[in-house]
Amino acid sequence: MTDGINNLFVHRSAAQRYAAARPYFHPLIATRIVAFTGTPHFKRALDVACGTGQSSRALTAIADVVDAIDISPDMIAEADPDERIRYQVAPAERMPFADDSFDLATVGLAFHWFDQTAFLSEAHRVLKSGAWLVLYTSGFNGEMAENAEFARWAWEDYPKRFPAPPRRSTGVSTELVERGGFNLEAKEDFAHREVMTPEQLTCYLLTQTNVIAAVEGGSTEIQEAASWIAAGVSPFFNGRPGTMQFSGSIWYLRRL
């Protein structure tokens, strides 16, 4: 995460929930990066807003060394140590690296929290000429494959109880990235499914910023939020796990 418009991730309890319950889809992104760029392996990669290190671990499959930064010490404290990953606390807009250091940089599920202009300037500085900057999102669609009625709860009841906090646009425009010294080479969409029990879905929803904002802001106790979510989602499962639908986008930027 970063010190963007509203950093909701500098709380140890939120970091612990994040580490325990976020889907690990990031290897899919690493595979897509290799396929699109045609580069099977990178010498040095940078993972910006690494959170609890899921995205950083995935990069070790395609990079010799991964530097991973996050504004939240508590998030990094929850990351599993790996000799190929060098974690440190730093904001996306002021990165502690020399010019022309990296062959690849990634930002997963965090660009919308950044001062985007400042970040792109920093990314341009620390990346080598011709290097790749890959931005990606992934989000829960609010759909369960086995039960279409679940969508009403996800899109009506849940956001009414836990409204989404403000954030910057998740979109990546050609104009924005060109001002930062990048070319937007392509955008592609992807989807993934996660099989979850009611308990797992409840734990995942407790990691969303909708809930974090309420809990860490003091308006709702964590157990109250967990109980409300569990009571809402459980009836849709009919005693068996459900297949939850996720989707996202990947933007491939190249440093000019």
CA triplet 206, 209, 215: central angle to 5 degrees? Answer: 60
Residue 2 contacts residue 92 (beta carbons within 8 Å): yes
Could you list the pLDDT tens digit for every one of the 256 residues in the chain?
Answer: 443 334 444 456 678 888 889 999 999 999 999 999 999 999 999 999 999 999 999 999 999 999 999 999 999 999 999 999 999 999 999 999 999 999 999 999 999 999 999 999 999 999 999 999 999 999 999 999 999 999 999 999 999 999 988 776 667 999 999 999 999 999 999 999 999 999 999 999 999 989 988 988 888 999 999 999 999 999 999 999 999 999 999 999 999 9
Q: pTM for the complete prediction?
A: 0.92
- Residue 188: enclosing H or E segment and its boundaries? strand 182-196
pLDDT by residue (tens digit) across 58-87?
999 999 999 999 999 999 999 999 999 999
Q: What secondary structure letter does DSSP report for 166?
A: P
Residue 145 contacts residue 191 (beta carbons within 8 Å): no
Tell me the one-letter amino acid at 137: T
Tell the residue number behind the tokens 């440093």, with chain if given. 255
12-141+166-194+245-255, CATH topology level? Rossmann fold (3.40.50)
- Residues 124 and 120: their CA atoms lie apart, in Å, by 6
Residue 194 burial class via C-beta count within 10 angstroms: exposed 0-12, middle 13-18, buried 19 and up:
middle
Cβ partners under 8 Å of residue 157, min gap 6: 232
